[in-house]
Amino acid sequence: MRCGPQNQGAASPKSETRTSGLRLVLAGDVMIGRGVNERLKHEPAAYPWGDTKALFEQGDWRACNLECVISDHGVPWGATPKAFHFRSDAKNIASLKEAGIDAVSVANNHTLDFEYEAMFEMLRLLDQAGIAHAGAGVDLDQAARAAVSRAKGVAIALIAFTDNQPEWEAGTRRPGVFYTPIDVSDERAQRLFQTVRETHRTSDVTIVSAHWGPNWGYRPVGGNVRFGHALIDAGADLIFGHSGHVFQGVELYKGRPIMYCTGNFIDDYAVDELERNDESFVFALELSAGRVTSMRLYPTEIFDCQARMARGERAEAIALKMARLCREFGTSARWIENEGVLEISGS
């Protein structure tokens, strides 16, 4: 097959000294179920990360969207029709630890693939592993709550929502995901904006993880642009978007990055030779004084259930595609050939 310390409570007041020289490392959809799970029965826990692992080790704080449930239990979701169900064995929480993942988004369309029993086990496993998680929980309050973790003494808050799977929406007394329609006037969106405002007041860095939009397309749908701007206006320092199988451009809105879609990072999916859903990046962001000052994007590709650094002409082609998409937002990006990195500055 072609493969492609949890703190869920309120944040403490902002640090006296804001972020300085802090390096965040982000990756898009990490799906370690199905074929990847089969490989992990015979390969070491670090296998899915391939030679990208070294970049994660260079980060002070690392996060991804966990595009599967990690559990040994549960049955495939059957309440409504669903084509794909992704689950990874409970032992594979070690794979996230191998990459040093500090936080994950679990607000997506696979968190409840094996119903509530599996989701609850995954949340327990993440807690036990000291991996912060946001976007799902026993009720709406927990699903909507910012997950706060620390790096170099800096409080980094992750808020995660999705516009997928409305039937999984968490409620006052119902477990599920933090479902929010992409409509700034919707009361659920207003709750999200209020959460961002409150989190911004008490955390040094506020990141909003958005699992939004269609599966395909190199450009965000119009509603996402307006919604992303509203999240920044509410106090988000960074929008970490994903869900689509291909990456989209980065916009700098009021000096803050909106990563509309970071694409697939690890999976076992068939590759569309036109859309190239096996291409993405390791996104490394440098922060100073609480603001992203630069971004360095390292081109990657998925092969044999493993993320790998793209090389040579392939790396350059991936980078230049991203540079073109960024220019559509007025964002300047330059390819540094001898370093194999696309640099976005001016944040």
Helix (H) or strand (E) holding 94: helix 93-98
Residue 18 above 60 pLDDT?
no
Calculate what percentage of the chain has a pLDDT beyond 70.
Answer: 94
DSSP-assigned letters across all residues of 238-261: EEEEE-SSS---EEEETTEEEE--
Calculate what percentage of the chain has a pLDDT beyond 90.
Answer: 87
Q: Which two tokens stand for residue 137?
A: 């929980």
Predicted local distance difference test score (pLDDT) of residue 14: 57
Please indicate, yes or no, if residue 4 is contained in any of the structural domains.
Answer: no
Predicted local distance difference test score (pLDDT) of residue 81: 84
Number of domains in the chain: 1
Please indicate, yes or no, if residue 55 is contained in any of the structural domains.
Answer: yes
Rounded to two decimals, the pTM is 0.93
Query: What amino acid occupies position 15?
Result: S
Cα–Cα dist 1/37, whole Å = 12
Cα–Cα dist 62/300, whole Å = 17
Q: Taking a C-beta distance cutoff of 8 angstroms, is the pair 224, 256 a contact?
A: no
Q: Which residues contact 165 (CB under 8 A, 6 or more apart)?
A: 109, 112, 177, 179
Residue 267 above 80 pLDDT?
yes
Predicted local distance difference test score (pLDDT) of residue 1: 37
SS3 state at 86: coil
Query: What amino acid occupies position 340?
Result: G
Residue 152 above 90 pLDDT?
yes
pLDDT tens digits for 197-249? 999 999 999 999 999 998 988 999 989 999 999 999 999 999 999 999 999 99
Please indicate, yes or no, if residue 328 is contained in any of the structural domains.
Answer: yes
Query: What amino acid occupies position 30?
Result: V
Residues across the chain: 347
Q: Which two tokens stand for residue 342?
A: 């696309």
Residues 74-103, buried b or exposed e (16+ Cβ, 10 A)? beebeeeeeeebbbbbbebbebbebbbbbb
Burial class (CB in 10 A: 0-12, 13-18, 19+), 46: middle
Please indicate, yes or no, if residue 1 is contained in any of the structural domains.
Answer: no
Please indicate, yes or no, if residue 8 is contained in any of the structural domains.
Answer: no
Predicted local distance difference test score (pLDDT) of residue 17: 42
Q: Taking a C-beta distance cutoff of 8 angstroms, is the pair 159, 197 a contact?
A: no
Please indicate, yes or no, if residue 216 is contained in any of the structural domains.
Answer: yes
Query: Given pLDDT bands bounded at 50, 70 and 90, which one contains residue 291?
Result: confident
Q: Taking a C-beta distance cutoff of 8 angstroms, is the pair 320, 335 a contact?
A: yes
Q: Taking a C-beta distance cutoff of 8 angstroms, is the pair 15, 154 a contact?
A: yes
Burial class (CB in 10 A: 0-12, 13-18, 19+), 18: middle
SS3 state at 139: coil
**Residue numbers of the domain that contains 161:** 20-345
CA atoms within 13 A on the CB side of 259: 34
pLDDT tens digits for 107-145? 999 999 999 999 999 999 999 999 999 999 999 999 999
Cα–Cα dist 34/84, whole Å = 10
Average pLDDT, the chain: 93
pLDDT tens digits for 300-310? 999 999 999 99
CATH number at residue 320: 3.60.21.10
Please indicate, yes or no, if residue 241 is contained in any of the structural domains.
Answer: yes
Please indicate, yes or no, if residue 6 is contained in any of the structural domains.
Answer: no
What is the rounded average pLDDT of the residues 265-293?
Answer: 92
